[in-house]
Amino acid sequence: MATQAAHKEQPLLSVQDLKIKIQMESGIMNAVDGVDFNIYKGKTLGLVGESGCGKSLTSRSIISINPKECETSGTITYNSESESALNGLNLLSLKPTGKQIRSIRGRKISMIFQEPMTAFSPMYTIGNQIMEAIRTHQTKDKKEAKRIALEMLSKVGISDQAKRFDQYPHEFSGGMRQRAMISMALSCNPEILIADEPTTALDVTIQAQVLELMKSLQAEFGMAILLVTHDLGIIAEMCDEVAVMYLGKIVEQAPVKEIFNNPKHPYTKGLLRSMPRLGGNKSKRLDSIEGSVPMPINMPPMCGFYDRCKDRIEGVCNAQSAPKITISDEHTVRCFLYADQREGEVQ
Amino acid sequence: MTKPILEVLKLNKSFQVKSDKALFKKPKPVHILNDISFELLEGETLSIVGESGCGKTTLGRCIVRGVNASSGSVVYHAEDEKAVDYLKLDRKGIKAYRKDIQMIFQDPYSSLSPRMNVFDIIAEPLIANFKLSKDEVEAKVTEIAEKTGLNVGYLKRYPHAFSGGQRQRIAIARALITQPRLIVCDEAVSALDVSIQAQIINLLKDLQEQYKITYIFISHDLSIVQNISDRVAVMHLGRIVELASTESLFGHPQHPYTEALMSAVPQPNPEFKKERIILEGEVPNPANPPSGCHFHPRCAYKTEKCIQEVPELREVGYNHFAACHYAEKLQLRGVPIESAELQVN
Amino acid sequence: MRTLPLFKGQKPAAPVTAAPKDTVYSSQWRLIYQKFKKHTLARISMYILGLLYLVALFAQFIAPYDLQSYDSKYVNAPPMGLRFVDAEGKFHIKPFVYGLKTERDPETLRKMFVADTETRHSFKFFVKGQEYKFLGLIPMKTHLFAVEEPGRIFLLGTDGMGRDLFSRIVLGSQISLSIPLVGVGISFILGLIIGGISGYFGGWLDSLIQRVIEIIRSFPTLPLWMALSAAIPPRIPVVTMYLYIVIIFAFIGWTDLARVVRGKFISLKNEDYVVAARIAGVGNTKIIVKHLLPGFMSYLVVATTLAIPSMILGETAMSFLGLGVRSPATSWGVLLQEAQKIENVALYPWKLLPLGAVILTVLTYNFIGDGLRDAADPYKK
């Protein structure tokens, strides 16, 4: 794959042909339909898409926390840097409740969620819960665990940690809880951090704080981040590479500048055009994408964006699913419009 | 100059919050809205922006009398030039004006009754306000449904059969059917996906042009606000801290809070590496507001005066109001309109 | 139709544009019905309960004997089985029962019944017997079944006075199954009105009503029953007594329902769509009738269904203690009175059979309530 050729190093995590099917009353829903991407050390991959496109399911399948109804296939290869025993492990082959995935979850790959309230138990203090995470994976020593927990709290910018340590989740504000969750997620120094809409529930000024925090922590710890979001602004600020998802497929994948400056897929173009931006023309009509996202239930093989696409080619786009086409070394797109460039552009 | 349609004067709203510590202690009032005053001109879009808890939603609901304000008045200038205090009208008196002022809610899932079909939902305000025959109602509903981009064949369906964007169209159709002069849009597009958001914003703009509607557009999203509004009011902890035309406010903000808000918005442009102002600390709790200027604990420019004196909202430029002691002295950075426009092939 | 599985903290988002044709036009009640149908246990319970009520309705027809008939020859007789094969192993097309003869236990010298293999009484359907009024209106003599005279059939044995237990359970079901319905019906109306007032108007009226409810609910139930039933004058007609008991139950039962109604009123009053209707200028009465009532009716049906079992148990308990229904009227609780003595239970265990009827009814109601609860919000997964 061209996207990977650009990176010389081995990816930390490689997702290949991930498919998630959900049995519905009205048929089988292909919630995620053949997703490939790689995550590299110290880099941030953004997974962007609208609600229902499968981005959350994709990210959750990495640490096997999807509900039972999700039938998952494909491979997710994890190449641990620090532990050779975990090198080349297919995470999907592990039992979702088994010991091995649990030893990876939270220690090697952590996750932060949109609503930090659900990640903490209301019955225990924040400090207690962070300590618990450290003690399960890192050290059995209580004092040492507390020291690490306090250090982590100060790292995420929580002042007065000693007092905060003994407070309960409800005594924290939304932004503070998100910080606490990040500190818990990073307490075991994971290699990969999955952030699922980490700032969607927060106010803009607090969102700015949390994003800044994530960036500085990445610079310090060097972990890879998989950032799942619907906000292109956050993508532009945080990511090195972007994968745009639509209806369970990655329709376009490229480095962040390439996506914003040279988008290829009609959906990506439409998204970029339709979002209002600061400094944009006031009272200008927005270019919207017509129609709405269909349900991927019993879909015939065709481009999922066909109904809403302005550049659709009848008889082609609705006859088979779009192939992955390489635009340049690091840029791939799933669209028939570029099918003829395949030979010309790739050497 | 255009006539005002609504004048909000010294609007206050406070809740009595019972102290959980003492059973017999007197409840303490929490001021959600503090002396809010502004004028709304006919046909314009005034946006109200602010972070959660700043009182913007309460303000919207007070204006349409979804909740009752504690004090103050909302003077409505009716079509026949008569001015009435909308908040002082009794149940009978308000009947004549309900049809003029409507509202669109944030969550299209909770704002439509799951027990009525779409036709009945849209027709409800019409039937409540006008005496019409069945055929007239049907003609009117069909007309509005077409105008808001709903499939007329789907009117007998129930809301659960529609997507979020479609539901918001239904909500707009319901608000529009009495031909109101003013619509309060409370985060009307926040719950929608980006591509659907653009559809709804465009729809709102088209309808405004067609029916000469005045909007109060309540939102936390500055990018949308900039796109849709003529004037913008920035709220912070129950007060308006800045009020100006969109160009003036975004181009030359006069309040440090506005500057910080704008700077915090993530720009969908990877090349755009600006210096971001990261506000320290949290949004203060309205139950226990800071002294003086409520923004001072997070303000980079604060002085002793800010801690002690509450700044008044005053005119600091032509039609540009700000509540900051140093509005004229500070050189704040804005986002000049059109400059950061991005070309998409 | 189901949407994407939801995770905690995630908003329902999956668009439902491709909803199958039949559900898009379905009103809420239809969706509730469709979801209820899928709850197998509730559906089966529904059938069983329907059967029980049919039996109660046609009790006089089904029961071979009436409440008064007794036979001192057959005191504490055990249940007899219907037979096709006789003691010699001969097969008979017509089912029959053996007659009973008394013997003494050689050791304990206790009187006991054994099957008299000499006398065979064949089983018959639609037999003329004691006169009764069908559905309380039409005088009739035909009963569903009986055996040839002079034989007698005691499918579930007899009690200490020689009365057929099967007939008594069937006839007792009339009171045991209807008291809770009428009681819940009255509490439903009381709860709806009082809870509605409390929730809609709020303020001091709400506080007052809530305190009254708290006081009523803080009474210990048993002494309260005793006190209330002491107020029922002795030796009154069956119908009047029935009414008194129903009122006692409704008096306690409405508090629960009033709370459900009040809570729903308060939460629905601030729902966006109700606020929207108010802003649109819809009048108070119309908002209550069109938005609030339908909004919590499904929950109220659930609460009501789940309130019935406790009333059944209450009636049984009261009658068991001799505080409720009294002879000559009969309910399952009255029948269980005989099971108060340990010797009765030890020697004549069939006297516990009315308990089976109670358990069956309570369970079916609970399962139906469960099914309704799951179906009450058809939009939730």
B11: domain CATH number is 3.40.50.300
How high is the pLDDT of residue A341? 58
Stretch B209-218: mean pLDDT, rounded? 93
* C8 contacts in chain A (CB < 8 Å): 115, 118
Residues B144 and B215 occupy one common structural domain: yes
Each residue's pLDDT tens digit, A139-186:
888 889 999 899 888 888 887 888 888 988 888 888 888 888 888 888
How high is the pLDDT of residue B20? 56
How high is the pLDDT of residue B253? 92
Residues C181 and C95 occupy one common structural domain: no
Residues C99 and C220 occupy one common structural domain: no
Nearest-angstrom CA–CA distance, B116 and B121: 6
Residues C276 and C243 occupy one common structural domain: yes
Residues C206 and C335 occupy one common structural domain: yes
Q: Is residue C115 part of a domain?
A: yes
Residues B201 and B272 occupy one common structural domain: no
Each residue's pLDDT tens digit, B88-128:
888 888 888 889 999 999 888 889 988 888 999 999 999 99
How high is the pLDDT of residue A2? 42
Nearest to C5 among A22, A51, A114 (CB): A22
Domain count, chain B: 2
Each residue's pLDDT tens digit, A105-131:
888 899 998 877 777 888 889 899 989
> In this structure, which amino acid lies at residue A249?
K
Residues C247 and C114 occupy one common structural domain: no
Cβ pair A294:C18 closer than 8 A: yes
Domain count, chain C: 2
Each residue's pLDDT tens digit, A221-266:
899 999 999 999 999 999 999 999 999 999 999 999 999 999 999 9
Residues C277 and C243 occupy one common structural domain: yes
Cβ pair B174:C280 closer than 8 A: yes
Stretch B24-29: mean pLDDT, rounded? 70
Other chains touching C, judged by 3 or more CB pairs under 8 Å: A, B
Q: Which is more confidently placed, C70 or B75?
A: B75
Cβ pair A269:B340 closer than 8 A: no
Each residue's pLDDT tens digit, B285-306:
777 888 889 999 888 888 999 9
Nearest-angstrom CA–CA distance, B23 and B157: 51
Each residue's pLDDT tens digit, B277-288:
888 777 787 778
Domain end: C153, C185, C215, which one?
Answer: C153
**Distance to chain C for B253, nearest Cα, Å:** 34
Residues C253 and C296 occupy one common structural domain: yes
Residues C266 and C173 occupy one common structural domain: yes
Each residue's pLDDT tens digit, A8-41:
678 999 999 999 998 877 778 888 999 999 999 9
C28 to chain B: closest CA residue: B115
Q: Is residue C354 part of a domain?
A: yes
How high is the pLDDT of residue A282? 61
How high is the pLDDT of residue C182? 87
**Distance to chain C for B111, nearest Cα, Å:** 4
Q: Using alpha carbons only, how large is chain B's radius of gyration in Å?
A: 21
Q: Is residue C130 part of a domain?
A: yes
Residue B339: is its pLDDT beyond 70? no
Stretch C245-261: mean pLDDT, rounded? 83
Mutate to test the interface with B, among C271, C273, C298, C299 (most CBs of B within 10 A): C273
List the domain boundaries for chain A.
10-108+190-275+287-300+322-346, 115-188
Stretch C299-317: mean pLDDT, rounded? 84
Question: What does the mean pLDDT of chain B come to?
Answer: 87
Q: Is C210 on the interface with B (CB under 8 A)?
A: no
Cβ pair A272:B342 closer than 8 A: yes
> In this structure, which amino acid lies at residue B225?
V
Q: Which is more confidently placed, C131 or B7?
A: B7
Nearest to C15 among A52, A60, A114 (CB): A52
Q: Determine the CATH number of domain A10-108+190-275+287-300+322-346.
A: 3.40.50.300
Residue C173: is its pLDDT beyond 60? yes
Question: What does the mean pLDDT of chain A come to?
Answer: 85
Q: Is residue C74 part of a domain?
A: no
Residue C198: is its pLDDT beyond 70? yes
Residues C270 and C141 occupy one common structural domain: no
Each residue's pLDDT tens digit, C223-251:
877 777 777 777 777 777 777 878 877 87
Residue by residue, what is the 3-state secondary structure of C53-107?
A: HHHHHCHHHHCCCCCCCCCHHHCCCCCCCCEEECCCCCEEEEEEEEEEEEEECCC
Residue by residue, what is the 3-state secondary structure of chain B?
A: CCCEEEEEEEEEEEEEECCCCCCCCCCEEEEEEEEEEEEEECCCEEEEECCCCCCHHHHHHHHCCCCCCCEEEEEEECCCCCEEECCCCCHHHHHHHHCCEEEECCCCCCCCCCCCCHHHHHHHHHHHHCCCCHHHHHHHHHHHHHHCCCCHHHCCCCHHHCCHHHHHHHHHHHHHCCCCCEEEEECCCCCCCHHHHHHHHHHHHHHHHHHCCEEEEEECCHHHHHHHCCEEEEEECCEEEEEEEHHHHHHCCCCHHHHHHHHHCCCCCCCCCCCCCCCCCCCCCCCCCCCCCCCHHHCCCCCHHHHHCCCCCEEEECCEEECCCCCCCCCCCCCCCCCCCCCCC
- Which of the residue ranges A60-74, A291-305, B273-287 would you say has the lowest mean pLDDT? B273-287
How high is the pLDDT of residue B18? 60
Residue B207: is its pLDDT beyond 60? yes
Each residue's pLDDT tens digit, A256-293:
999 999 999 999 999 988 888 877 666 577 888 888 88
Q: Is residue C140 part of a domain?
A: yes
Q: Quick one: pLDDT band at residue C15, thresholds 50, 70, 90? A: very low
How high is the pLDDT of residue C25? 72
Residue B187: is its pLDDT beyond 80? yes
Residue B340: is its pLDDT beyond 60? no
Q: Quick one: pLDDT band at residue C305, thresholds 50, 70, 90? A: confident
Domain range for residue C90? 80-153
Q: Is B222 on the interface with A (CB under 8 A)?
A: yes
Q: Is residue C85 part of a domain?
A: yes
- The rounded percent of chain B whose pLDDT value lies above 90 is 47
Residues B74 and B113 occupy one common structural domain: yes
- Could you tell me the CATH number of the domain that includes residue C188? 1.10.3720.10
* C378 contacts in chain A (CB < 8 Å): none
ipTM exceeding the 0.85 mark:
no
Domain range for residue B149? 4-15+31-229
> In this structure, which amino acid lies at residue C62?
I
Stretch C31-36: mean pLDDT, rounded? 82
